Amino acid sequence: MTKPILYSFRRCPYAIRARIAFISHGIDFELREVDLKNKPAHMLDLSPKGTVPVLLLEDGRIIDESLDILDYVLDYKYDENTEQLIDDLNNTFIPALRCFKYPERYPEANIDHQEEIILKYLKSLDMLLTNSIHLIGDVRGKADIAILPFVRQLHRADEKWFEALNLEHLKQWYYDFYNSELHQCVMAKS
């Protein structure tokens, strides 16, 4: 094997994270797009849980969690603010986003309450972006890469709702990515 192999699914936000990291850092890798209804045996041998992304490194190591892939690619050094943003993403934003995006799957969920949770998180991001083009630091880092795919999901779930948000810094941050060559490369059909 001459380069890392990344098993991915084009629209999966967790897999999008991994592709952003590899492409934005100019790392050559082999992309293997997965049909989630017919997962390849090799991928399942590497990671029996059967989720993407799965990264097989040249030395045989396997990384099958998107945040661990980011840590590897970015040579990430622990940052408390980054970790808190990602914890809030995982514990509040993503569950609310699921209810917002799929209300038929969550009939017991109060959609107005889910929108409030989403909006509170987005406002915290908007504040961080008041004087910066990145969430933390001077370059697109782990926080940006971990969060962008889920803001993308929200945008795609209801573009009019997203457009109506009075969070100009957040929208600029998102649209800078959305309209970039990087986004086009990350989302290209293989």
Cα gap 92→190, rounded to integer Å: 33
- pLDDT of the chain, 190 residues: tens digit per residue: 689 999 999 999 999 999 999 999 999 999 999 999 999 999 999 999 999 999 999 999 999 999 999 999 999 999 999 999 999 999 999 999 999 999 999 999 999 999 999 999 999 999 999 999 999 999 999 999 999 999 999 999 999 999 999 999 999 999 999 999 999 999 999 7
Would you give the end-to-end CA distance of the chain in angstroms?
Answer: 20
Cα gap 85→125, rounded to integer Å: 9
pTM score, whole prediction: 0.95
